[in-house]
Amino acid sequence: MLNQEAPSSNRALLFHPITILIGYRSPASLPSFTGDATLLLSTQGWLIVRPTQGREVLIAGVANAASSASMLDLDNFVLFDSSSGIIWQSFDFPTDTILPGQPLVVNSKLVSDVSETNHTSGKFQIIMQPDGNLVQYPVGAVGVGFSYWSSETNHVGYGASLNLDSEGLLYLQNATGFNITRLNNKVAASGKPIYRATIDADGIFRLYSHSSNRSDNWFIEWSSSDNKCDPIGLCGENSYCVSMEGEPVCHCPLRFVYIDEEHKDLGCRTNYSLVACTGRNDQTFNFSKLVDFSWKDDDTYLDVSSRTEYDCRSECFRDCNCEAALYNNQSCKMLKLPLRFGRRDTSSQTITLLKTGGELAGPGTGKRKLRIDILITSLALAYSTLVVLVVAAIGVLKYRSRVREYNRILCLVNNRVLEDVALKSFTFEELKDATNDFVDEIGKGAYGRVFRGVISVAGGERMVAIKSKKNGSRRRKRIQE
């Protein structure tokens, strides 16, 4: 069982990760083994892991059937044939770790895990090169300019190997058995600790020790770097690493956003889109600037001479393919996105110029888009036009209301004037009704008597004075207001 109670042996401390126990890393397509998985030697002589659920996984299938298996004192797990000859051993298949007595021979490598809980292959590797140099690279980028640590022993020639002894000493040995160099000083540890050298998920190669007390933790005796931002490629595309309180933090440049906020080491993407080159003007593109950052400049497609930063910016502006430029010492290197292996490097004195678009990108965005300044201007004009139309409509309504009021007043005035200047005849009966049968006499003169009366006119009633004059048997009446 992979997770059984550990026996008294010190090496039992190494049983929990199967990658250390037998030098096997499960493929990325398979889930990690659980603690109740079983390691067994089949009747065919194959070494197999049998999980409680799912299919069996072959670890070692050899031409000659194995008849037995054993964990040696050096923590090397081996398969024997019927003649007790070793036909397979875990030391020949290192993953991310070597143990005491397990050499990392020429052209062999260790590859980091994805994380402390995900033991599939990760981002970093350390390789024992044929020239004798022990070098760390990001996975998929082996070559000059991509290493971030080395033993600087490329002069020793073919056949060198990395070794870890039982005293915790890491050293390189040449093909004749001569010790070339030590990577660490001798460990002064009490008791009988065990050691392992591991390239961790963060890309740093470390030497660990563990005391005989199983409750203790692993202790770091040596590491290839104290700066956790040194591993190239720790942060994903278009992002760069900054050390904050000793811990690496991945940042996005201006106008970039994280691909996944929960996993910032996956990198960044643009939140803008560059418009087509044709018909552009000086306002089509902007440039954001980063100082003292290095990138993988092997992605450069053009290197031109530029006397100043402004000249480099102008060169990138004129080139439709240029999405970023690196300016350093009158050299202008033009690149297309994505940028890779970004990290702060105060010694580089490199200025990074990132060409950013003038409009936000969105789903379904075409190659040709309206610039954001044109869009803003259009919206402003539309708003202004709407305001003018609303004001004009209000003015027209007020004008029409005032015209109607004017016409109404004019009609009333005209009616009043007509009433004032026009002559109207009343019958005797109408005058009698108006004066209530001539009962309210208000005066008398030479012309005759005067009575108060009320007559009906357009818009209401009016009080008038009615004068009477005798003429035969009938009275002649005259109205006076």
Token pair for 26: 């499960």
Report d(CA 435, CA 80) in Å as an integer: 146
Element containing residue 386 per DSSP (H, E):
helix 372-421
| Contacts with 222 (C-beta within 8 Å, 6 or more apart), sequence order | 170, 183, 184, 206, 207
333 is in an annotated binding site: no
Helix (H) or strand (E) holding 317: helix 309-318
Distance CA 126, CA 172 (A): 14
The pair phi, psi for residue 222, each rounded to 5°, is -160, 150
Closest by CA to 354, choosing from 392, 327, 389, is 327
CB 104 within 8 A of CB 128: yes
What is each CA distance from 157 to 1, 107, 172, 205, in whole angstroms? 43, 13, 12, 23
End-to-end alpha carbon distance in the chain: 128
Q: How far is CA 460 from CA 367, 405, 421, 430, 463, in A?
A: 78, 20, 18, 16, 10
Partners of residue 462 on adjacent β-strands: 455
- Residue numbers belonging to the annotated binding site: 467
- Residue numbers belonging to the annotated binding site for ATP: 467
